Amino acid sequence: MSTSSNPLRDALDRRLPRIAGPSGLVIFGVTGDLSRKKLMPAVYDLANRGLLPPGFSLIGFARRDWENEDFAQIVHDAVKEHSRTPFREEVWQQLVQGCRFVQGDFDDDAAFETLKSTIQELDKQQGTGGNFAFYLSVPPKWFPKVVQQLKKHGLADQKEGSWRRAVIEKPFGHDLASAQELNKVVHEVFPTEEVFRIDHYLGKETVQNILALRFANTLFEPIWNRSYVDHVQITMAEDIGIGGRAGYYDGIGAARDVIQNHLLQLLALTAMEEPASFDADALVAEKTKVLGAVRLPKDLGKETVRGQYAHGWQGGEEVVGYLEEEGIDPNSKTDTYAAIKLEIDNRRWAGVPFYLRTGKRLGRRVTEIAVVFQRAPHSPFDHTATEELGQNALVIRVQPDEGVTLRFGSKVPGTQMEVRDVSMDFAYGESFTESSPEAYERLILDVLLGDANLFPRLKEVELSWQILDPIEQYWESNGKPASYPAGTWGPVEADEMLARDGRSWRRP
């Protein structure tokens, strides 16, 4: 939709680089892994690409007994180790001017007063203009405390001509009731448009490309429905175990960790109708419609599977099972694997199963969406029976090896008319010289610009919990997760689940 009476000017404006105005970022939980591996490097990469204002400021808030210099050193090391763009001394020297550290507990009033005066000082010295985003990279139990402290100390006040924003890492609650409760607390302090819930999958180029693929082309949309699609498989497989995250992961599990957010967002983008525009409101309207139409499995025992990895081998190395991991309750029933069959009750998708699966310690790291098409109704080829023809598939390779693959049948060279499956590939690395920003880079920039398109709204979060809650409740009262050896593709029960439908999981 054009915003002025000059469409040419609008088109040119859209091509201008998106550069953040005067602003700063406060990170709570700055000593955590996410901050070191993702947030600090993302800030540096943005600065390095010239997308941050010269006076941009970064404040770390944590309990550690650090001075500003110690914090600057931590940021420096994290940037050197994890940033994606080359280290440039002049960019670093500029960034470090705005680095500050505030020491304290989340219930320490004096620390929040220090935070307030640090922000005021940065406004004067760095020209941050009072615009600050507060990034809550802390365990969810601390969200209410931190936002209440921000309110109590006047840090969340929206003053004329400036903004204050809250950025909230997932998980947003652990079920519907807790998500709603949390939301109440956050919205007592921040207005809706200033709350940014992070689902970093939406920051990935390949995820945004689902919309381009579907709605910028004429090729796919006519067959993107129950008349042609047999089923859809959405896989997020990881080869890593839980690493040092026992405290967070145990009791949460794979389904809450990634199906409730990343995988259901992928489902929504794959299945939704074309939005009127790419504004946050229009996107949310379509995503919520489709999430609201999701139908739970009729038989939760047969159409969902949860698993837990046992001792096994991965990449030639012996790895321990989940229950032997450090910090895990040896009787834990936490799922490290989950597979769920969902259907969507609308005209486009009625009767088409969407199989979602995720797991830790699986065969390899891969995230993909495979839209698998129906078989040709009959085969006129003497040497290939209908049931031997493969099923056409469009596979969106989210990561690694980002791209899209189209699978279709082709004649095998020779004197007979034999048909075999082949692939046609689009790979980002080969087709584009532009490099993809890291998901957190894109999302932090969007927060600073106040652009909410890639952030789930509360309604989506609620609908996703509504889908997951009954499944979690069923699992809780029905036995233990099925076991699978580390390094394999999950429990046999998951294969049986698809076999009952006459289908099988892809082995990506």
CA separation for the pair 471, 338 (Å, rounded): 10
CA separation for the pair 53, 25 (Å, rounded): 12
The backbone region for 490, taken as left when phi is positive above 0, alpha when psi lies in -120 to 50, beta otherwise, is left
> Per the annotation, does 361 bind a ligand?
no
Is 257 or 343 the residue whose CB approaches ligand BG6 more closely? 257
Q: Write each residue from 302 to 341 as x if it is in contact with ligand BG6 (CB under 6 A), else as -, in one continuous string.
A: ----------------------------------------
> Per the annotation, does 230 bind a ligand?
no
CA separation for the pair 507, 149 (Å, rounded): 49
> Per the annotation, does 151 bind a ligand?
no
Is 25 or 258 the residue whose CB approaches ligand BG6 more closely? 258
331: exposed, middle or buried (Cβ count in 10 Å: 0-12, 13-18, 19+): exposed
> Per the annotation, does 106 bind a ligand?
yes
Q: How far is the CB of 171 from ligand BG6 (least distance, A)?
A: 8
Q: How far is the CB of 367 from ligand BG6 (least distance, A)?
A: 6
408-434: buried (b, 16+ CB within 10 Å) or exposed (e) per residue?
Answer: bbeeeeeeeebbeeeeeebebeeeeee
Which of the residues 262, 311, 378, 383 is marked catalytic? 262
Q: How far is the CB of 390 from ligand BG6 (least distance, A)?
A: 28
Position of minimal CB gap to ligand BG6: 257
Regarding beta strands 366-373 and 354-359, do their DSSP bridges make them parallel or antiparallel, or are they unpaired?
A: unpaired
> Per the annotation, does 257 bind a ligand?
yes
DSSP 3-state of 486: coil
Q: Write each residue from 255 to 274 as x if it is in contact with ligand BG6 (CB under 6 A), else as -, in one continuous string.
A: --xx----------------
Q: How far is the CB of 363 from ligand BG6 (least distance, A)?
A: 15
Is 30 or 242 the residue whose CB approaches ligand BG6 more closely? 242
First CA to last CA distance, the chain? 40
Q: Write each residue from 341 to 370 as x if it is in contact with ligand BG6 (CB under 6 A), else as -, in one continuous string.
A: --------------------------x---
* 438 counts as binding ligand BG6 under rule CB under 6 A: no
Closest Cα partner for 240 from 81, 327, 332, 364?
364
Report helix angle 176-189 to 458-476, nearest 10: 150
Q: How far is the CB of 43 from ligand BG6 (least distance, A)?
A: 18
Regarding beta strands 354-359 and 229-237, do their DSSP bridges make them parallel or antiparallel, or are they unpaired?
A: parallel
Q: How far is the CB of 246 from ligand BG6 (least distance, A)?
A: 12
Closest Cα partner for 136 from 27, 13, 215, 24?
27
- The residue ranges of DSSP E strands in 366-402, in sequence order, are 366-373, 393-399
Is 257 or 335 the residue whose CB approaches ligand BG6 more closely? 257
Q: Which of 45, 205, 230, 238 binds ligand BG6 (CB under 6 A)?
A: 238
> Per the annotation, does 360 bind a ligand?
yes
Cβ neighbors of 171 (< 8 A, separation 6 or more) are 140, 252, 256, 257, 260, 261
DSSP 3-state of 411: strand
> Per the annotation, does 326 bind a ligand?
no
User: Does 383 participate in catalysis according to the annotation?
Assistant: no
Is 195 or 207 the residue whose CB approaches ligand BG6 more closely? 207
Backbone angles phi and psi of 186, in degrees to 5: -65, -40
Q: How far is the CB of 234 from ligand BG6 (least distance, A)?
A: 13
Is 118 or 358 the residue whose CB approaches ligand BG6 more closely? 358
Give the chain's radius of gyration (CA, Å). 24
DSSP H/E element including 27: strand 24-28
**503 in Cβ contact with 309 (< 8 Å):** no
> Per the annotation, does 105 bind a ligand?
yes
> Per the annotation, does 480 bind a ligand?
no
- By CB under 6 A, what part of segment 364-403 binds ligand BG6? 367
Is 252 or 290 the residue whose CB approaches ligand BG6 more closely? 252
* Tokens encoding 457: 């709204």
- Give me the active site residues, please: 262
Q: Which residues bind ligand BG6 (CB under 6 A)?
A: 238, 257-258, 367
Could you tell me which residues are annotated as the binding site for substrate? 200, 204, 238, 257, 360
Could you tell me which residues are annotated as the binding site for NADP(+)? 63, 105-106, 170
